[in-house]
Amino acid sequence: MSAHEVDATAFSVFEMREVTAETIDEALASSGDALAVVFFWGGDCFNCEIAKKAMLAQPEAIRSLGLTWFHANVYEHRELGRRFVQHGVPIWFFFHRGKRLGRATGWHGLAQFAAAVDAARAKIEKNG
C-alpha cells in the first residue's frame, strides 16, 4: 500500500458507513435509539492508521461496545472538521438521536475508549 492509499479494513470490519457534511445528519438520524459514533480521520494521518490497527487487533472487544459506526475523512470534508471544531485527528464523536454526547480524542487504548462510550451512555440515561 502506498503512502496515499487508505487502509479501509477497519471501515468494513466494523461496518462503518461513510458520511459527508451533506449526509451526516440523515445518517445519525437513521441510527434511531442506538449510540452512534463517528470516526473522524484524515488521509496520511499516522495516528489514524495506528488507531485502526489497534481496533482491528481486538475486533470482538470493539464490537461488544454495541455502537453504530460511521466514518468521515475530514481532510476531504473540511466542513465537518469546522462544524465539530476539530483540531486534530483521530477523534470519535458519540451521538444519540442526533445529539452530540461526547468524544474520544486520539487512541489511548481500548479502556479509555470504552470509558468514553460509558460516559456517553450515562448521559443518555441521565437525560433520557
Instruction: Please report, for the domain that includes residue 108, its CATH number.
Output: 3.40.30.10
Residue 2 in any domain: the answer is no
Give the Cα separation of 75 and 77 in Å (integer): 6
Q: How many domains does the chain have?
A: 1
Asked if pLDDT for residue 3 goes beyond 80, the answer is no
- pLDDT reported for residue 86: 83
Using an 8 Å Cβ cutoff, are 72 and 40 in contact?
yes
- pLDDT reported for residue 81: 87
Residue 4 in any domain: the answer is no
Residue 100 in any domain: the answer is yes
Average pLDDT over residues 37-58: 95
At 66, the amino acid letter reads G
At 32, the amino acid letter reads G
At 42, the amino acid letter reads G
Domain span including residue 92? 9-127
Asked if pLDDT for residue 22 goes beyond 70, the answer is yes
Residue 19 in any domain: the answer is yes
Q: In the structure, what pLDDT confidence band is assigned to residue 1 with cuts at 50, 70 and 90?
A: very low
Residue 20 in any domain: the answer is yes
Question: In what order do the strands lie in the sheet containing 17-18?
Answer: 17-18, 68-73, 35-41, 91-96, 99-105
Q: In the structure, what pLDDT confidence band is assigned to residue 65 with cuts at 50, 70 and 90?
A: very high
Tally Cβ neighbours within 10 Å of residue 119. Answer: 14
